[in-house]
């Protein structure tokens, strides 16, 4: 079942106000889900520069944020460092990583927002009080998002989420 919550939806606003921990997947959320592979094996991805300003707004509000990625890649670590985000990589089981983060922060699932795009995000999307998917998310996760960005992954989806939170938390 696809949910169609709007920015001004009271139920969405209430869920946003409850959030204490915002977790992002990386590939397909911060990126357009494409990878450039160089002949020496190095990889590069495309990210939106506007994400940094949005994340800084939420950081100033004291919201805990983190990247949780299945991939283990220096590109993910480098981007997370630049954005001043904690980054947990190589997560074969995102659900187990989520358990650790909830225990570490003392947050409940109701206080968690998760932004994802693909089936490996389902262990988090299905447990988050506010599951968010990007516009071009895989069809298998569409039914699990309570908010779907208008922007595609890597094309301002992270900034859209940050701006929405900032607007609601006003």
Higher pLDDT, 91 or 6: 91
In a domain, 154, yes or no: yes
Share of the chain above pLDDT 90, in %: 92
For 123, which DSSP code? H
Establish if 1 belongs to a structural domain: no
pTM of the model: 0.94
Residue that is written with structure tokens 């570490």 in the block: 104
Q: Read off the pLDDT of residues 114-153 as tens digits, 9 standing for 90 and up.
A: 999 999 999 999 999 999 999 999 999 999 999 999 999 9
Domain count, the chain: 1
**What domain range includes position 45?**
10-169
Provide the CATH number for the domain around residue 114: 3.40.50.1000
- Segment 39-53 shows an average pLDDT of 94
Contact indicator for 1, 153 with CB cutoff of 8 Å: no
Contact 5, 146 (CB under 8 A): yes
Query: Within a domain: residue 3?
Result: no
Residue 4: inside a domain: no
Average pLDDT, the chain: 94
């Amino acid at each position: 079942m696809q949910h169609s919550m709007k920015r001004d939806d009271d139920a969405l606003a209430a869920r946003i106000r409850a959030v204490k921990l915002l977790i992002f997947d990386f590939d397909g959320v911060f990126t357009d889900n494409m990878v450039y592979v160089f002949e020496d094996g190095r990889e590069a991805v495309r990210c939106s520069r506007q994400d940094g300003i949005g994340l800084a707004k939420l950081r100033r509000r004291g919201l805990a944020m983190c990247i949780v990625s299945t991939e283990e890649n220096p590109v993910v670590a480098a981007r997370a460092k630049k954005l001043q985000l904690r980054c947990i990589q190589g997560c074969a089981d995102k659900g187990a990583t989520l358990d650790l983060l909830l225990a570490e922060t003392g947050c409940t699932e109701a206080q968690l927002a998760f932004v994802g795009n693909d089936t490996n995000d389902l262990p988090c999307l299905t447990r988050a009080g506010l599951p968010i998917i990007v516009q071009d998310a895989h069809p298998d996760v569409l039914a699990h998002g309570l908010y779907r960005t208008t922007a595609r992954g890597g094309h301002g989806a992270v900034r859209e989420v940050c701006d929405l939170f900032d607007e609601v938390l006003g």
